[in-house]
Amino acid sequence: MNSSQNIFVLEKKKFSHSSCCTYILPNISAEEIDKLDYLPQICLPEATFTPKKGLPTIGVILALESGFYSIDEPYVLALLQAGANIKFITYKNVETQLSDIDGVLLIGGFFPTPNNWYVHPSQEAQPPLPPRTLAYLSILDWAYRHKMPIFGVCGGMQMMSGFLGAKLMFLEKDFGYTPFQHKGINANDYAHPIIINSNSLLFDVAKINHITVNSVHSEAVASVPHDKIKISAQTEDGIIEAIEFINYPAFALGVQWHPERMAVQGEIFSKNLYKRFVLEAHKFYQTKVFDNSPF
């Protein structure tokens, strides 16, 4: 930590349970960070990244690793390689952290979502939603109201979908047998093909209808309100693999797989997904600059 500037610097570590490196804020827990009486600035090491003028800033809600704020390295690399600045968002007072962002990346992870979003809600009383989930809902609401570019990955796609009224499901309990392996594989490996809707934003990026993706998820989007959400891609077994917002004036795409893992391995399609998202964020940034927008 640089105490004179309220700056906290992430450190890169490798954990045995993860197939990639992780940036983590050590020595002070997320709960302790959120109790500070000032707004902390969480940054990557300067040797890794220094913000550059003229680039859009992507807001990213941080994940958790054993109670410490963290983010997997592939998300960071995919954004930096696509030409973005990154602002890491903590869980307290989310909206006060968003005035200078130009797009939102909703990363994946394992965290509870509202019980009433599910096809078969739990009959047991749900405990209060944790700070991370509430932070996602806050940043989604902000981005949606400000017509800001949104890109959701895996759990981030599910949050985008539920936010507009989609229903979620547990693959094993609600879906049953599937010939494809959606969970339990290495996120750095290909898992199964998807079929892309020709009339979709995703096709505009991919330029083809069939492509193979990686996959690590135990939940999925079961159904969508078709007046608000378009299904952009599915697998042959019927799992929804990508969605986009309808009648939304900015880029809003969610994918069920992890393109950042493939992007850092050099796959063109995945790199192009992040490039397109950052391009749309840059358009948003330019609009703010030219309009002299206060937010």
Furthest C-alpha separation in the chain: 56
How confident is the model over 212-244, as pLDDT tens digits? 999 887 789 999 999 999 999 999 888 999 999
Pairing of strands 229-234, 240-245: antiparallel
pLDDT for the residue 30? 98
Q: How far is the CA of 110 from the CAs of 7, 79, 164, 217, 231, in angstroms? A: 27, 21, 20, 9, 23
pLDDT for the residue 183? 67
Which helix H or strand E contains 134, and what residues bound it? helix 131-145
pTM: 0.93
pLDDT for the residue 125? 77
pLDDT for the residue 176? 63
Token pair belonging to 213: 């993706």
Residues facing residue 24 across a β-bridge: 11, 70
Phi, psi for residue 12 in degrees, rounded to 5: -90, 130
Find out if CATH 3.40.50.40 is the number for domain 7-291. no
Token pair belonging to 138: 């806050």
Pairing of strands 11-14, 21-24: antiparallel
CA 132-213-272 angle, to 5 degrees, is 80
pLDDT for the residue 172? 66
Q: In what order do the strands lie in the sheet with 21-24?
A: 11-14, 21-24, 68-72, 63-65
User: Is 83 exposed, middle or buried, given 0-12, 13-18 or 19+ CB atoms closer than 10 A?
Assistant: middle
Residues facing residue 252 across a β-bridge: 150
pLDDT for the residue 180? 59
Phi, psi for residue 219 in degrees, rounded to 5: -120, 165
Per-residue pLDDT tens, the chain, 295 aa: give them: 554 568 999 999 999 988 899 999 999 999 999 999 999 999 999 887 888 999 999 999 999 999 999 999 999 999 999 999 999 999 999 999 999 999 999 999 989 999 999 998 888 877 899 999 999 999 999 999 999 999 999 999 999 999 999 999 987 665 665 655 656 667 888 878 999 999 999 999 999 999 999 988 778 999 999 999 999 999 988 899 999 999 999 999 999 999 999 999 999 999 999 999 999 999 999 987 666 555 5
pLDDT for the residue 131? 97
pLDDT for the residue 293? 57
DSSP symbols for 143-182:
HHHTT--EEEETHHHHHHHHHTT-EEEEIIIII---SS--
Of 36, 64, 52, the closest CA to residue 133 belongs to 64
Distance (Å, rounded) from C-alpha 259 to C-alpha 246?
22
State the residue for tokens 């939940």.
Answer: 219
DSSP symbols for 183-214:
SSS-TTS--EEEEE-SSSHHHHHH-SSEEEE-
pLDDT for the residue 217? 73
State the residue for tokens 């989007």.
Answer: 221
Q: Is 63 helix (H, G, I), strand (E, B) or coil?
A: strand
